[in-house]
Amino acid sequence: MNKWLLFGIILITLSAGGQGTAGKFDGKWNTTVTCEPKGGTLGYTLHFISTVTGNVLHGERGTRGQPAYLAIDGKIANDGKAKLTASGVTAGAEYTHGPIKSEGHDYSYEVKAQFTDTAGTGERSTGLGIVGRPCHWTFEKQATGDSAAKP
């Protein structure tokens, strides 16, 4: 075999291996957010699936740009700590706490979270555009082959 051909095969193998590196937390996660009632505003609980690839989490519920849409995004460090961003579009006034009291407004807030190999928890830490209320996040890693969020 030509030494240049062998060198090329080794180079391709090494570069392909770096691109598909799995992160410690990679997989599908059942995600639940519960925001408590506050000041006459109703509380709510939402369930959806988030995906972690290369230790980067992304989850969505609803239709992007529409009322009641929610996304969660961020990187999970190797020690399991994560500073995630929850963002979305407000639902009806009965669920919207703070100065914005109608549906269709963008919002975002930080979630400080901690993950283990199979579970995670997080708390709302700041609010941008909406006065914060307590919101609690839980994450449960799905077993391989499990594809449905738990009710």
Q: What is the pLDDT along the chain (151 residues), one digit of tens a residue?
A: 554 443 344 333 333 344 457 889 999 999 999 999 988 889 999 999 999 999 999 999 999 999 999 999 999 999 999 999 999 999 988 888 766 667 888 988 999 999 999 999 999 986 554 457 899 999 999 997 665 655 5
Domains of the chain: 23-141 (2.40.128)
**CB under 8 Å to 95, separation ≥6 — which residues?**
41, 42, 44
What is this structure's pTM?
0.78
pLDDT at 151: 53
Residue 98 buriedness (CB in 10 A; 0-12 / 13-18 / 19+): middle
pLDDT at 131: 55
Is residue 12 within a helix (H) or strand (E), and if so which, with residue range?
helix 3-19
